[in-house]
Structure 1
Amino acid sequence: MSDLELTIADPEAMEALGERLARELRAGDLVLLEGELGAGKTTLTRGIGRGLGARGAVTSPTFVLAREHPTASGPPLVHVDAYRLGSAAELDDLDLDLERSIVVVEWPNDRVDADSWLRLRIERPAAGDPDAEAEPRRVTIDASGARWAPVLNALGS
């Protein structure tokens, strides 16, 4: 499976990408989000939450590590910030219901042990520039597992 690269114009477009992605997600899916602070990981997750009809505000789970957002008619969205976790074992210790949820993990580096995942790397061309909040982002999407080929096709069209 080859990578998909997208240019996302602004935060509203990042949320819209999350909504498009949400239409493709189902219980048991694992979405990994990489990018520096302020890249748009939580903004993308907010769009996923809106697309899933998640209840409650989707905000960064930095201080609580994980938030579960019930949805109106489907699996819950579990939003994890793994930045402060040291290993995949610590993520496992959170005892999340990965099989019945859609799980989005920010900062997954070496903290997620799974065979099937969709990874989105978000890059800010003007990193470190506080005036570049609405600067376009480059999103590179890759995946592991056969489940993701139709998702990549849907996002690329």
Structure 2
Amino acid sequence: MEAHTPAADAAAPFVTRLTVDSPERMQDLGRRLAALLRPGDLVMLSGALGAGKTTLTRGLGEGLGVRGAVTSPTFVIARVHPPLGDGPALVHVDAYRLGGGLDEMEDLDLDVSLPDSVIVVEWGDGKVEDLSQDRLRVLIERAVGATDDERRVVTVSGMGTRWRHEPLADLGG
């Protein structure tokens, strides 16, 4: 695992890279990441179809202790998973079929949900950045030269002051 944390620039990302070798470990990474999340957090997931975005989100849901099975919201665009206890709800959005920026997503009322929820947006690059200066971007890529189809390189970038002191490097478990 490689970890990098830039110095003083509050806008610069705080980055860690991990190698994940199975769907079970991707889900476990989601559970570990959930331990760092709190209401108001925005998580943007990027990666090719089948990379593991929904698997990671399933782990986030388990770690946050939310109700309902976390499945891909591709056809419904967004699903809200209420908390089973005192934690935040999980709002899981799939922006793949949405073409525009935040204006096109306005009907989802993500800005209203954000203060009390953790919002996870698959395919959100270029569409939801205006929701918060403080956000996580998770890029999931197939490992170059991997002999198995399940190995992924996951890059977690914390943007803004919210993520300055969070132990992203500890996500490697």
Q: What TM-score results when the alignment is normalised by the length of structure 1?
A: 0.90
Secondary structure in 2 matching 1:77? strand
CA RMSD between the two structures: 1.9
- Aligned pairs, number: 153
Alpha-carbon offset, residue 43 of structure 1: 0.1
**Paired position in structure 2 for 1:71:** 83
Residue 163 of structure 2, aligned match among 139, 148, 155: 148
Q: Which residue in 1 is equivalent to 2:11?
A: none
Mapped partners of 2:143, 2:35: distance in 1: 28
Letter in 1 for 2:89: P
1:24 maps onto 2:27 in alignment: no
Secondary structure in structure 2 of the residue aligned to 1:12:
helix
Aligned match of 2:65:
53
Unpaired runs of at least 5, structure 1:
none
In structure 1, which of residues 41, 46, 59 is the aligned counterpart of residue 53 of structure 2? 41
Offset, 1:71: 1.2
1-structure distance, mates of 2:151, 2:124: 23
- CA separation in 2, counterparts of 1:77 and 1:32? 13
Deviation at 1:156, TM superposition (A): 4.9
TM superposition shift of 1:126: 6.7
Mean Cα deviation higher: 88-97 or 36-45: 88-97
Matched residues in 1 for 2:171 and 2:105: separation?
Answer: 28
| Identity over aligned pairs, percent | 58
